[in-house]
Structure 1
């Protein structure tokens, strides 16, 4: 694919964002979507996941907005520490899983620790919930500050996943549009 149409690159976290997840609803709604497909969604391996993310970004060869959820937020940050690609125009970083915290995340995610805290080289928005079991609101806000991201508290939405029953998550679509407008300036 080689065109100027901005692609939304949907990047699920642990488990792969099933059919009732807002990422799946968006994948079905938007025509300009590419979705990462990891070999094993339940046994995350940072090296393998990074390779798949980078290969997908290179193949797209067009403007890209990253749409990452949970563990995929850490993946995006690790990717930016070792790769760069001028096609990345922005990132929507939703419900970052605190991979450094055994209190908030399962041991299987420790391979993605330590969470990178470098400033991102493109515009980004961190979206967090007040009652997310995978990250405290304060920690999500800390990450946003370190990454140079805008921060949006969406209230009591859990882990902003399928259990949150957001379906098309219209509020998230508005936030995404805000990010896209920022990247077009």
Structure 2
């Protein structure tokens, strides 16, 4: 896949220097889906922006989401006519917006869409993430039909976690890439 076929989806407040998403963009040329307001995210606005970017893309896509970006992917996939363009999604440290206190901090993001995603996906979570417990991450992965991976104790898997270019995460993303020259899989009948 071309580097431009991998879209990164940061969470609330964007991904800063040292964040694995930023590192991947610099190292591999992946493209960030920029949002108009990183500090006061509105689900409808963020979904519309993701829809615009995906609709403008040709060929298959991979999504690499972090935190609120994971919640965005699930909601967008449930409503988009273009979800078929996505070959897979790496969903890292989903932010539990239904957790007490978070829904007040980031209003308008509940309920979390829990339908099976129409493309292969992997949820990666940390055993000590303050924004989503391992049990909750496994529950979300199950609802989304995703494989769940325990990353160990690394906090919110963000810049503060010190992952840098995060080779293990990149290997997981690459595992979602179709072999060169393969036909697009038909996920329309997935239940």
How many equivalent residue pairs? 180
Secondary structure in 2 matching 1:113: coil
Question: What do residues 76-128 of structure 1 show as CA deviations (whole Å, max 9, x unaligned)?
Answer: 1110111132211110000000011125x362323111111100010000000
Alignment of 1:97-112 (within 5 A): 97-102=95-100, 105=102, 107-112=104-109
How far does residue 172 in structure 1 lie from its aligned partner after superposition? 0.5
Whether contact under 8 Å (2:87, 2:176) holds in the other structure is: no
Change (3 A) 1:115 1:16: same
TM-score scaled to structure 2, two decimals? 0.89
Q: Which residue of 2 aligns with 1:156?
A: 153
Whether contact under 8 Å (1:90, 1:122) holds in the other structure is: yes
Higher mean C-alpha displacement, 123-132 vs 109-118:
109-118
Aligned partner (choices 112, 116, 120) of residue 113 of structure 2: 116
Q: Which residue of 1 aligns with 2:132?
A: 135
TM-score scaled to structure 1, two decimals? 0.91
**Moved >4 Å (runs of 4+):** 181-185
Aligned partner (choices 50, 61, 66) of residue 47 of structure 2: 50
Matched, 1:62 2:59: yes
Aligned partner (choices 170, 174, 185) of residue 173 of structure 1: 170
Q: Which residue of 1 aligns with 2:70?
A: 73
Question: What do residues 124-152 of structure 1 show as CA deviations (whole Å, max 9, x unaligned)?
Answer: 00000000000000000001111110000
Matched, 1:28 2:32: no
